[in-house]
Amino acid sequence: METTVRTPFPPTSGNSPRGDGPLHKGATSVHAAVDRVAGAVDEAARKARPVIDRAAEFAHHAVDRAADVAMPTAEWLGEQGESLMAAPKKLVDGTCKYVAANPLKSVALALVAGLLIGRIVR
């Protein structure tokens, strides 16, 4: 069974069913050029794969090392977090108690501190 290719071009236009017309030759050369480019891209990808794999492995090791270095600090902050959050509250509570116990001394200290800061700023 033979299949006949029907095209909108008459056989006299150079597009003969045998495939020896100028359109066929042009398509063949374009197809060959595309094949060469595709082959070059495949070759470049094949050559680049080991470099990309090494870079990914290096990045993975760098992230692991950074995580190993940061882990003790994160653990310490987790353990000390509550006491670190309570430190300012303790400072304010201690200051309030001192002022309540020594009101005149507290006013004198505030006056001296204000005078010193005023002299420095001028």
From first to last of its 122 residues, the chain has per-residue pLDDT tens of 555 555 555 555 444 455 567 788 888 888 888 888 888 888 888 888 888 889 999 999 999 999 999 999 888 888 888 888 888 989 999 999 999 999 999 999 999 999 999 999 98
Spell out a b/e string for 73-100, using b for 16 or more CB atoms within 10 Å of the CB, else e.
eeeeeeeeeeeeeeeeeeeeeeeeeeee
Global pTM value: 0.38
Q: Could you state, in order of their start, the residue ranges of all structural domains in the chain? A: 25-121
Cβ–Cβ under 8 Å, residues 99 and 106: yes
Q: How far apart are CA 93 and CA 82, in angstroms?
A: 17
End-to-end alpha-carbon separation of the chain, Å? Answer: 107
